[in-house]
Structure 1
Amino acid sequence: MEILIVEDKSEISRLIRFSLENEGFSCHSCSDGLQALQIIQEQQPDLIILDLMIPGLDGLELCARIRQKPGANDPYILMLTGKSEEMDRVIGLSTGADDYLVKPFSPKELVARVRALVRRSLRQPEKHQVYRTQHFIIDVEQHSALCQRNSNSSEILDLTNLEFNLLTTFVSNPNRVWNRTQLIDKLWGCEFCGDERVVDTLVARLRKKFEPDSANPIFIKTVTGVGYKFEDDPI
């Protein structure tokens, strides 16, 4: 697994690199958001450890750009934040970060978070899984989601990694009601310790990708006082 460390404080960057290389990971590092964007486009790392406060292009903007235009490899993003940056953590998760770590952190906790993301990748199904409903086709291996607008029109949806995983969760379990805790565990795992509102933000973003009227959704319904469910006839 190739890891890119984007951190402008050299002592923290060295600590991260030393801790991960001791565990067998291959690491590269840079200290500038614009430089990181170029490296990501050229090298396609598997995981990015991204500090929020970096020069050139801040961590939130860099995270958003990565998710807007994913390359052949859509990387996991572990965001580094300060103790006072709770709202930034919520925004970071809603723009596509997979997890966050609050400074100061221990090397053991860092390695544990990275290994948790690696395990999430390894848990991907080996067989070619395709989920179909009347209006959607989700191809897990190809990481593609197709929406059938009508009998003569279909569209490949442009989704971030989190949006794709959420839609796959819904389409593979039509009519199941999910609460926020269940969706957080499905998408981020038991290591998540942020604000549950990130689920509402992610659902709102996903609705805008294919609902005819995102304010009055016909596919992803809100179950008042519980959570969400996806309604579409399976094939």
Structure 2
Amino acid sequence: MSAQINAPYKPQNHIRIVTAASLFDGHDAAINIMRRVMQASGAEIIHLGHNRSVAEVVDCAIQEDAQAIAMTSYQGGHVEYLKYMYDLLKEKGAGHIKIFGGGGGTILPSEIEELHAHGITRIYHPDDGRAMGLQGMINDVLQRCDFSTYRKKGVQVPVMPDGEEEEQQPVFDDLQALAKALPHKNPLHIGRLISVAENYPEEYLIVKQEILQRKEAHNGPH
């Protein structure tokens, strides 16, 4: 089957993706190509390079309020690595962050099925590349990530590819609650408020004054 020729997908939301090669893995040629195509297609990419631990990648994705993580793994430990990544995201309250991966022929079809069953969003096999083409795979990633991490009340959540459940989308509608939680220094809350300030300035103005007042109260009189 020949690869399809696809025009780049045009995101409706600001998409932020963290990319890296897994721990003990120096094979970063593929992810370097993929991230450049994702960037050219309109996504913001935070690239961590190669030999990155699960904790490093997860912490970065939470701090950057990313919609997804895209990993390359040729070191043979992909099943354990990606399962742990999924579990750690859930543990930190960031289960909405999607995980994509690839590793050429080192990731067997049976392992791909196992990872998908565990909750990994999509693992791409060489057969996918032949069928979809490079841009086709990138379009698939971006379409699955095309949602806002901040949801306004009353705004309907778009239907995701393959019928992904709405519950997988983040629900942080209460900006006041986020602002009040800032003293706890939760990276998820801080990253979310920064994203709101960047993408929804009119919404951020609602809580900006409260944040400044809390800062002044915390600092005390000079």
More strand by share: 1
Structure showing greater relative contact order (alpha-carbon pairs closer than 8 Å, 6 or more residues apart): 2
